[in-house]
A = this chain, B = another copy of it.
Amino acid sequence: MGQLQRLAIAPTQLHNEQILLANEQQHYLHRVLRLREGDHFIAMDGTGNSWLAVLSGNYAQILESIVVESELKVAVNLILALPKGNGFDEVVRCCTEIGVSCIMPVLSDRTLLQPSPQKLERWRRIAKEAAEQSERSLIPTILEPVPLHQALAAATSRQLYFCVARRNYPHLKTLLTATSTEITIAIGPEGGWTTPEIEGAIAAEFQLVSLGRRVLRAVTAPIVAMSLVSAAFDG
């Protein structure tokens, strides 16, 4: 099924084996993907269900349910300090491709700027597009930005990791065990976490970890962390 085009749909679009297509979805299928009447594509509801469908005017007929085995065997939550500028677009896109489940953008001591609601909408659209393009069956959740301490308090995974640069903490790769079902990894801003933030993470029972000997930018570190997780948990 690898070569078929993909379309994310809302579960509410599905009635009696038919998908009623919104205007922008019709445009996307016809104009962007250049599909024609009768062409097949894969519809995915973003929560793990996928179907082989055939395009027919303003709707698509479902032919069969299909199994897409592209998801990691672990749910990965990333707590990410928002970088300055537009770097977060690329982080959302790359981490979605590599398999993230949920991204929790956080405001940290060194990045206090609250992003506009338009930014959040934009990140969610990027996550949807990247999930389609990378042939995933899940669309990652992008949560509303909150202060770091709130995200730390809300983390419920049994494996909680807090990445810190330039110290001799254990490498994240040595701690990933294939029996985990959910992990949470926090990654800091340019300039790193402040000491109170690190103390807050320890208090919230996060384990301090390293991503290696080189100093990574805030944009690169989440991609490296996701790569390590995907290598540890891919089928």
Interface-side segment among A44-52, A110-118, A181-189, A209-217? A209-217
Cβ-defined contact, B214 with A134, below 8 A: yes
Cβ-defined contact, B133 with A217, below 8 A: yes
Question: How many identical subunits does the complex contain?
Answer: 2
Cβ-defined contact, B223 with A97, below 8 A: no
Q: Provide the residues of chain B in CB contact with A223, threshold 8 Å.
A: 94, 220, 223-224, 227
Does chain B have a CB within 8 A of A99?
A: yes
Least CB separation from A96: chain B residue: B214
Does chain B have a CB within 8 A of A125?
A: no
Does chain B have a CB within 8 A of A230?
A: yes
Does chain B have a CB within 8 A of A199?
A: no
Q: Among B2, B3, B220, point to the contact of A94 (Cβ < 8 A).
A: B220
Q: What is the predominant secondary structure among interface residues of chain A facing chain B?
A: loop
Interface residues of A in 93-120 (CB under 8 A from B): 93-94, 97-99
Cβ-defined contact, B98 with A213, below 8 A: no
Q: Provide the residues of chain B in CB contact with A220, threshold 8 Å.
A: 93-94, 97-98, 223
Q: How far is the CB of A208 from chain B (nearest CB, A)?
A: 16
Least CB separation from A68: chain B residue: B213
Q: How far is the CB of A233 from chain B (nearest CB, A)?
A: 10
Does chain B have a CB within 8 A of A37?
A: no
Q: Among B70, B133, B215, B227, point to the contact of A213 (Cβ < 8 A).
A: B70
Cβ-defined contact, A171 with B212, below 8 A: no
Interface residues of A in 178-233 (CB under 8 A from B): 212-217, 219-220, 223-224, 227-228, 230-231
Does chain B have a CB within 8 A of A136?
A: yes
Interface residues of A in 119-133 (CB under 8 A from B): 133
Q: A94, A135, A171: which has the most chain B beta carbons within 10 Å?
A: A94
Alpha-carbon separation in the docked complex, A136 to B2 (Å) = 39
Q: Provide the residues of chain B in CB contact with A85, threshold 8 Å.
A: none
A-B pairs, top 9 by smallest CB distance, nearest first, are A227-B227, A2-B166, A173-B231, A224-B227, A134-B214, A212-B234, A70-B213, A94-B220, A135-B215
